[in-house]
Homo-oligomer: A and B are copies of this chain.
Amino acid sequence: MGGKKYVSEHPIFSVTADLVVLTIRAGRLCVLLVRRGGEPFRGALALPGGFVEEDEDLVTAAHRELEEEAGVGPDDVELEQLATYGDPDRDPRGRVVTVAWVVLAAEVPEPTAGSDAAEAMWLPVDEVLDGRHGPLAFDHRVILSDGLERARAKIEYTGLAAAFCRREFTVGELRRVYEAVWGGGRELDPANFQRKVLGIEGFLKPTGNMRRDGRGRPSRTYTADRAARLMPPMTRP
């Protein structure tokens, strides 16, 4: 971004894509954050993101930032538009409107590997939201909060919880996804959970394989069967 200038007769907006990338690590729901290296908010934590380029579609920009900042390719990831934030004062550098996206990630490539940002890290969302790691830059706390609520609602009536798992997964792994995302330390009854998910048409497709995890009886594995809408939905306790 050197000498190139742009001129317009309408008020000028810059448009950015910001990402709420969620994953599960050690049973806890975590979000990908970067430490800002420049002003404004130097040193504060922020959501990964960046400017949308000329002739670039919004969803393409989101995927590009995801690749650049987290090293996650366009496959094996669920990316959904969250909302757009455009308060005139949200960025001290000028009029910047940001389109925010929610990303549900399964594989956890250690973030610094292949990353653009000097410091990228996974932090538990509850710790971030209660301020334990300091305030977030810009209005990113609101965006994170909205993204979290979106993810919580979305896994109720879609099969997207499977996006947090590896391609092939067990019912127990899926249950721990629901427990982590819905939070609150609530545990779901394994017996009822099993019957419920297997009873939902088009949610899970058996692979015929088994998985031995060391302790306990081996379990059957499944892949996601992409039904757009779960009928009946999963219900938050």
Which of B4, B52, B55, B97 sits near A58, CB closer than 8 Å?
B97
Do A11 and B53 touch across chains, with their CB atoms under 8 A apart? yes
Contact B12 A12 (CB under 8 A): yes
Q: How far is the CB of A19 from chain B (nearest CB, A)?
A: 15
Whose C-beta in chain B lies nearest to the C-beta of A97?
B15
State the main secondary structure of chain A at its contact with B: loop
Minimum distance in angstroms from A102 CB to a CB of chain B: 13
Separation in Å of the A7 CB from the closest CB of chain B?
A: 6
Q: Copies per complex?
A: 2
- Given contacts A58-B97, A88-B57, A97-B58, are A52 and B83 in contact (CB under 8 A)? no
The B-contacting residues of A in range 46-99, CB under 8 angstroms, are 51-58, 81, 83-88, 94-95, 97, 99
Q: In which size bucket is the chain A interface?
A: 20 to 34
Any chain B CB within 8 A of the CB of A215? no
Q: Is the CB of B12 within 8 A of A7?
A: yes
- Interface residues as binary, A187-210 with B (CB distance below 8 Å gives 1, 0 otherwise): 000000000000000000000000
Residue of B nearest to A2 (CB): B9
Q: Which of B1, B4, B15 contacts A13 (CB 8 A)?
A: B15
CB contacts under 8 Å to B, within A1-43, are: 1, 4-15
- Which residues of chain B are near A13, meaning CB under 8 Å? 12-15, 52, 97
Partner of A6, one of B11, B15, B88: B11
Q: How far is the CB of A138 from chain B (nearest CB, A)?
A: 15
User: What chain B residues lie within 8 Å of A95 (beta carbons)?
Assistant: 54-55
Q: A52 contacts which chain B residues (CB < 8 A)?
A: 11, 13, 86
Pick the residue among B4, B11, B86 that contacts A14 (CB under 8 A): B11
Q: Is the CB of A99 within 8 A of B84?
A: yes
Closest to A232 in B: B235
Other A-B pairs beyond A11-B53, A13-B14, A52-B86, 8, CB < 8 Å: A7-B12, A8-B14, A8-B94, A11-B14, A15-B15, A54-B88, A58-B84, A58-B97
